[in-house]
Chains A and B, each alone.
Chain A
Amino acid sequence: GDSVTQMEGPVTLSEEAFLTINCTYTATGYPSLFWYVQYPGEGLQLLLKATKADDKGSNKGFEATYRKETTSFHLEKGSVQVSDSAVYFCALSVGNTGNQFYFGTGTSLTVIP
């Protein structure tokens, strides 16, 4: 069935380090792909998305490219900040109306000064 597998955490980085969180997916159709972020004590927020192959989503210095050939949507940021500490969820939507959403298990990121 449709699913998302993402890199297990927790991840701890020093400020200004490079971040990669891996995400791969399995889908029968042509999914849209998302990264959501959950800051401490808050709800999930959309970070970025890509709706078709080779699209690149970007926001707040984060980027992810929809790679159909490797069924991946890895999240990257060149220089992380303490304020990026959060849990990151990879997700996909499928179905005729795109209403069926599947989330990964989440990757906790802690950035230390």
Chain B
Amino acid sequence: GAGVSQSPRYKVTKRGQDVALRCDPISGHVSLYWYRQALGQGPEFLTYFNYEAQQDKSGLPNDRFSAERPEGSISTLTIQRTEQRDSAMYRCASSLVGQGEQFFGPGTRLTVL
């Protein structure tokens, strides 16, 4: 693919439901990052992977949030028992190597009612 893709682009869910957000990085990119961006703020780091290994999950807000990248390509960010405060834009980015340029996807706008 030409760039990082994310799906769905928009997700509206009711409080208490689980959601799964998908990220498809640029082919061949080793590193994959998840960010959360509140309105009017910069992206806030959540977690990142090198290949299939989760290297740092210190930014995940609590244990309702988890992420996986089982085959070192597509990644899924899962939020269990969603709460209204989880509403935000969730962005994925990928890069060739850790210190390289990060290429961002269009984001998934999550709204929890």
Contact = CB atoms under 8 A, between A and B. Distances in A.
A46 B56 contact: no
Interface in B92-106: 93, 98-99, 101-106
Looking at B31, B55, B56, B98, the one whose CB has the most chain A CB atoms below 10 A away is: B98
Contacts of B107: 43
Interface residues of A, number: 24
A12 B41 CA distance: 19
Interface of B: 4, 31, 33, 35, 40-45, 48, 50, 55-56, 91, 93, 98-99, 101-107
Interface string A31-62: 01000100000111110010100000000000
Contact of A43 (B42, B91, B98, B99): B91
Contacts of A4: 42
B102 A45 contact: no
Q: Which 7 A-B pairs have the closest CB atoms?
A: A98-B99, A103-B42, A97-B98, A44-B104, A43-B104, A99-B98, A43-B106
Nearest to A102: B45
Nearest to A90: B42
B43 A44 contact: yes
A20 B105 CA distance: 27
Given A43-B107, A99-B56, A101-B33, A89 B102 contact: no
A45 B106 CA distance: 10
A22 interface: no
